[in-house]
């Protein structure tokens, strides 16, 4: 069993939809949780970062962490065609950010 599981999709939604991306994990030592966005033929870039249970909002993006259920989510409101990309969750234990464990990535397509 992988330490981090992420539905690979692909996921296709109409412009303006609310998107929910999810990851589950098995290692209770994970303390830092991140979402990276990867456009085609590019390297991933950090989108959201959190280290506590609950919600963190940044514009149209909300990251949610539930440590008791070992479950994290990324919500995208009012999705735009420019949000079309692969989204990867990533996590690591305390003070080991250099050894991030990534999910498989979910490919999202937002149709105009």
| Contact footprint for other proteins (CB under 8 A) | 4, 6, 8, 32, 34, 41-46, 49-51, 88, 90, 92, 95-100, 102-105
Q: Is 73 helix (H, G, I), strand (E, B) or coil?
A: strand
Q: Shortest Cβ distance from residue 14 to other proteins (Å)?
A: 26
Which CB atom, from 49 or from 75, has the smaller least distance to other proteins? Answer: 49
**In the complex, what is the shortest distance from the CB of residue 15 to other proteins, in angstroms, rounded to a whole number?**
27
Q: How many whole angstroms from its chain centre is CA 85?
A: 12
End-to-end CA distance of the chain: 37
The label of the residue with tokens 């259920």 reads 69
Would you say 31 or 73 has its CB closer to other proteins? Answer: 31
CB atoms under 10 Å from CB of 75, counted, come to 17
Q: Could you tell me the two tokens for 30?
A: 């994970």
User: Taking the complex as a whole, how short is the minimal distance between the CB of residue 11 and other proteins, in angstroms?
Assistant: 15
């Amino acid at each position: 069993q992988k330490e981090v599981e992420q539905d690979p999709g692909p996921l296709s939604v109409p412009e303006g939809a609310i998107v929910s991306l999810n990851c589950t994990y098995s290692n209770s030592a994970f303390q830092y949780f991140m979402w990276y966005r990867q456009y085609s033929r590019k390297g991933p870039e950090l989108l959201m970062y959190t280290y506590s249970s609950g919600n963190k909002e940044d514009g149209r993006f909300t990251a949610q962490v539930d440590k008791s259920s070992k479950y994290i989510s990324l919500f995208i409101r009012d999705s735009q065609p420019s949000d079309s990309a692969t989204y990867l969750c990533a996590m690591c234990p305390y003070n080991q950010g250099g050894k991030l464990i990534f999910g498989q990535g979910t490919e999202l397509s937002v149709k105009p």
